[in-house]
Amino acid sequence: MSDAHPERHWSESFGATAASRAGEPAWLEAARKSAIARFVELGFPTRSHEEWKYTNPAPIAKVAWTSAATAPVSRAALDALGLPLTEGPHLVFVNGRLAMELSSVAGLEPAATLRSYRQMLASEPAAIETHLARTEPFDDRAFAALARAFATDGAFVRIPRDYVLERPIWLVFLSAPGAEPGASHPRFTVVAEPSSRATIYEVHATIGAGGHLASALTEIRVGENAQVDHVKLQLEGEGAIHLGHGALHIGRNARASSTLVSLGASIARHDIVALLDGPGAECVLEGLYVTSDGQHVDCRTTVDHRQPHGSSRELFKGVLSGKSRGIFNGRVIVRPGAQKTDAQQKNENLLLSLGAEADSQPQLEIEADDVKCSHGSTIGQLEEDAIFYLRSRGIGEAEAAAMLTRGFAAQICDRVASAAFREHIEALVLARLFARELPA
Amino acid sequence: MTTPMLEIRDLHATAGETLILKGIDLVIQPGEVHAVMGPNGSGKSTLANVLAGKPGYEIVSGSVRFEGRDLAGLAPEQRAREGIFLAFQYPVEIPGVSNMYFLKQAVNAVRAHRGIEELDAMEFLQLVREKMKLVEMSDALMQRSLNEGFSGGEKKRNEILQMALLDPKLAVLDETDSGLDIDALRVVADGVNALRSPTRSMLVITHYQRLLDHIVPDFVHVLSGGRIVRSGNKGLALELEEKGYGWLQQAGEAGAQRAEGERSSIRAEATTG
């Protein structure tokens, strides 16, 4: 395919797959068409875009991706991921399509909604029209436009006013690579109505081997006085490219936490935008990225304080080893009138090898005068004094380094409320840390 | 004659590029408690770090023998497993590693080396509960990250708890009294005294005499300019308290020359008397 105009491949592909969208409501096709037009207008990103300075999109551009075909994934393959799905209702998607046989809504409060977009289109399309057609806050992101144009399905979650969901809701997006390089566009929408409370666990994984592109577009809307705790675990396989766009809309006196654990894929990019839309909104954004040889992860966060009395706490931690790279770009915006905002941002990176590279860029844009904002970033190695302290107690050098590294990551893992999920994540992190050489 | 617990001969050692210890001689027999006092910069902490094997501290000449074995080239974890314990002046805070988990790993590493069966979680809990009483440690401190946000007193009590759990043959206490109020000092000192035994030796490093009111040493040595310039019994500590360290500068080189002979005669006196 032509490197000069890679967007053409996608627009042609959009035209060629029109038949697969037959039967969709006219408003949805209109939204898709406007999305592909927007994508062409924005153009395929290149390194000359400021947003893509640190992550070269050329490896994505040069592949002739096709829409990932339906593929069977067995229960055993899902179970092998070790996710404690029995803790709550779960929808499992394979290559962007709902896998009914792997999903279960058992244990869901009857008043709550957990359905696929397609099920919603059949039963109450009006309830999702505004959500699927919305372009904010990713209107200027080319890959979000692609997800709006191409997404085959997605999950819709609604928690009614005043309801507290005891069990987490799991949204699992699996990619099963085929012979052709396949692209899928996982989507979900969570609507937490006023004074409701829910926990959402989002997982992206690869079943089998091979490269694939997962370009996700997700949205969590937290109504007045509601609370949503969200965890995203990305553990896709080698050769995978993960492009995530996650939006949080946080209303008046509402609380949202979003914890990212990014372990997999060869290239992973997480574009997270939190919009503090109501006065007194609270937001906690956390992330842990662990990379080894050949991996590249790019976390971009925007915390947009639009109303007064909001607070945000942001902590992203990178553990980088082998020849790998981790990038954190954290933008905090305090709009005029968002007085009494209290925003804190921190990025800490631990380099475990000489070939590992970390970039950390805080960006504060403060347009109100009565605010508290702080940011800080560190890039360093394991502290020699700490290693000596552990060794002086009889703990071997490699074990001391492992203990310190695990301790560094624990601060993020500890955010996961489900003990079973937290232990699973810790085990995955450990497996990745121990699979590689520790510094001598 | 028994093998000394610790035998330091003409030790010259550097911290980084700088020669700090310039000829230390010190012999500690099993069960003895020795105090090393001295002004800031005299080399007290360097001596502690050299004994524990901290990277960056090099022996350039002379020797350090522990139970007759040369310590040169022995890694810090090997020294700890063999039975040397350093109570840190500034215990390191380690976020994300629980105190309990750390203690269990340390105890089992040492036990494995000594050929004793490792403890499971329940057995360890029993052991730690028993030792916690020594230094009045709370359960809450056990569940927290190692030393993170601990007060000065809590950190020092945690050091003594580690000493009690690891059951060393030689404990080096580096400025254990620094940053402690009188109540915390008493708790820490009581913990240390409970661990005194005919088979355990201690080297108590301190700037101030007050710690030695609580942990009464068998011998006191004064370190100045990287040498032991005077040795004596606990009366020497009181003398220092009265006179301060000013006289050391006046004593100067002469003191250093005299030190070795004096130390030997005092030892003779102490063992015969």
Look up residue A349 and give its amino acid.
N
In this structure, are residues A232 and A258 in contact, taking their beta carbons and an 8 Å threshold?
yes
Q: From CA A224, how far away is CA A250, in angstroms rounded?
A: 8
* B110 interface with A at CB cutoff 8 Å: yes
pLDDT at position B244 is 82
Contact A408 B92 (CB under 8 A): no
Q: B254 near B261, Cβ under 8 Å?
A: no
A304-318 pLDDT tens trace: 999 999 999 999 999
DSSP 8-state class, residue B133: H
- What integer pLDDT is reported at residue B249 of this predicted model? 64
**What distance in Å separates the CA atoms of residue B174 and residue B207, rounded to the nearest whole number?**
10
Interface mutation vs chain B, best among A384, A392, A430, most B CBs within 10 Å: A392
Domains annotated on chain B, with CATH = 6-272 (3.40.50.300)
Q: Give the count of alpha carbons within 13 A of B103, CB side only.
A: 30
Provide the 3-class DSSP secondary structure of residue B34.
strand
Give yes or no for B145 touching A (CB within 8 A): yes
The pLDDT of residue A179 is: 87
Q: Which of A384, A394, A411 sits opposite B109 (nearest CB)?
A: A394
- Residue A254 dihedral angles phi and psi, to the nearest 5°: -95, 160
- To the nearest whole Å, the CA of B100 is away from the closest chain A CA by 13
Q: Which amino acid is at A418?
A: S
Q: How far off is chain B from A382, nearest CA to CA, in Å?
A: 11
Alpha-helical (H) ranges within A134-277 are 142-150
Confidence of residue B255 (pLDDT cuts 50, 70, 90): very low
Cα–Cα separations (whole angstroms), residue A212 to A141, B110, B209, B225: 20, 48, 70, 67
Rg (CA), chain B: 18
The beta strand positions in A82-163, using DSSP E, are: 90-94, 97-98, 113-116, 155-159
Distance from CA of A204 to the nearest CA of B (A): 26
Q: Which residue has the higher pLDDT, B209 or B64?
A: B64
- Residue A210 gets which letter from DSSP? S
Pick B96's closest partner by Cβ from A393, A395, A408. Answer: A408
Alpha-carbon dihedral sign for residues B147, B150, B151, B157: negative
Instruction: Quote the pLDDT of residue B263.
Output: 47
Q: Could you give the CA distance from residue A39 to residue A145 in angstroms, rounded to a whole number?
A: 6
Please enumerate in sequence order all residues whose Cβ is within 8 A of that of A376, keeping only pairs 6 or more positions apart, or say none: A345, A346, A347, A362
Which pTM value belongs to this model? 0.87
Test B92 with A383 for CB contact under 8 angstroms: yes
Per-residue pLDDT of B97-135, as tens digits, reads: 999 999 999 999 999 999 999 999 999 999 999 999 999
Q: Are A105 and A439 in contact (CB under 8 A)?
A: no
**Residue B198: count of CB within 10 angstroms of its CB:** 8
How does residue B2 score in pLDDT terms, banded at 50, 70 and 90?
confident
Residue B267 has pLDDT above 90, yes or no: no
Structure token digits, residue A235: 């553990």
Residue pair B76/A388 in contact by the 8 Å Cβ criterion: yes
- Identify which of A268, A362, A363 has the alpha carbon closest to the alpha carbon of residue A324: A268
Instruction: Fill in the DSSP letter of residue A352.
Output: -
- The structure tokens 């074995």 sit at B69
Judged against a pLDDT cut of 90, whether residue B217 lies above it is answered with yes
In contact, A192 and A225? CB cutoff 8 Å: no
Model confidence at B251, in pLDDT bands (50, 70, 90)? Answer: low
Provide the token pair at B218: 């068998």
* Gap between the Cα atoms of A264 and A400, Å rounded: 25
CA torsion sign for A125, A130, A136, A142 is positive
Going by pLDDT thresholds of 50, 70 and 90, the confidence category of residue B264 is: very low
pLDDT (tens digit per residue) in B26-50: 999 999 999 999 988 899 999 999 9
User: Measured between CA atoms, how close is A330 to chain B, in angstroms?
Assistant: 24
- Residues forming a β-bridge with B13: B21, B59
Whole-number Å distance between alpha carbons of A268 and A291: 10
Residues of chain A with pLDDT under 50: 1-2, 436-440
Confidence tier at B208 by pLDDT (50, 70, 90): confident
